[in-house]
Amino acid sequence: MTQKSVSDLRVKILSALSDPTRLELLDFLSAGERCVCEILPAFQRSQSTISKHLNILYEADILERKIDGKRTVYRIKDPQVFDLIRMIDSIALKQISQLAEAGRILEISLNNGR
Amino acid sequence: MTQKSVSDLRVKILSALSDPTRLELLDFLSAGERCVCEILPAFQRSQSTISKHLNILYEADILERKIDGKRTVYRIKDPQVFDLIRMIDSIALKQISQLAEAGRILEISLNNGR
DNA sequence: TCTAATAATCGTTTTATGGCGATAAGTTTA
DNA sequence: TAAACTTATCGCCATAAAACGATTATTAGA
């Protein structure tokens, strides 16, 4: 039996999410389930690359899939991933505003020095 | 000027978090700021490896550091990362309980078949 | 001013990841 | 059943990431 710890799973989930193409895939699928043939035209990546990315998200239990005739349909398994992404964005936005603030202060001190 | 988008930053943050050693470092630092010389004995990794991991977390704006004499002290910059990790754990725990449930159902059907 | 302590950085090796085209495998349709 | 469609997988290459030991730079203390 392959024991799974929460630590292993969280690294697996975080790794699956730490790629721009995969984040775009999640965004794309947030509108609802889609077959691969609908996903492909929306991305400038080869079919094999997209298939691989989808499988990584599937293996991380973030997506589920069903086979429907000759197509495979993917959908978000647990919508809580979007809460997660929102929280990341909130942290990222804080970082950006800190940068902007630092820039403003720098600008002020440069102006004072003129 | 190096423009930073939220998308770039979130990939950077997620990448920084998707490593078991770095998650342990965050856990270790959750008790409060620590210098590298206190961190090292708690990890079975070389000094250069730990230094690199700390720097990755620093570059992702997850840690901040100050130099104090001959030591460098690291601390959590934004405690919201812990909300993030808690949310990951909640997703991971859901996955584990689904696995357990699937195992239970499998066991039942195996028993029925005996 | 030596010496020890501390931590970052360099150079190297090994492993993982992302990308692609080609191929295979399954399904539908003609 | 042959052809077309759809998607997963294989093999390969290039780049990135993780690990280590050795080196460097800085500071504290003898």
Q: What is the pLDDT of residues A27-70, one digit of tens each?
A: 999 999 999 999 999 999 999 999 999 999 999 999 999 999 99
Find the nucleotide nearest A46 (Cα to C1′). Answer: C20
Q: ∠ CA B14-B64-A112 to the nearest 5 degrees?
A: 115
A55 with A8, same domain: the answer is yes
The A 73-102 residues near strand C by Cβ under 7 Å are none
- CB pair distance less than 8 Å for A87 and B85: no
State the alpha helices, DSSP H only, in A5-79.
Answer: 6-17, 20-29, 36-39, 47-59
- pLDDT at position B113 is 47
Spatial separation of the C-alpha atoms in residues A61 and B22, rounded to whole Å: 22
CATH code, domain with B66 = 1.10.10.10
Q: Looking at the structure, tell me whether residues A53 and A107 fall in a common domain.
A: no
* Residues B10 and B41 both lie in one domain: yes
Q: At what angle do helices A6-17 and A47-59 cross, to 10 degrees?
A: 150
CA distance A114 to B20: 49
Res. A99 pLDDT band, cuts 50 70 90: confident
State the total domains in chain A: 2
- Do B12 and A89 meet the contact criterion of CB atoms below 8 Å apart? no
- Domain extent, residue A35, equals 1-78
Q: What is the mean pLDDT of chain A?
A: 92
| Mean pLDDT confidence for A79-88 | 96
How does pLDDT run across B17-48, given as a tens digit for each residue? 999 999 999 999 999 999 999 999 999 999 99
Per residue in B62-87, pLDDT tens?
A: 999 999 999 999 999 999 999 999 99
Residues A108, A27: Cα–Cα separation, whole Å: 39
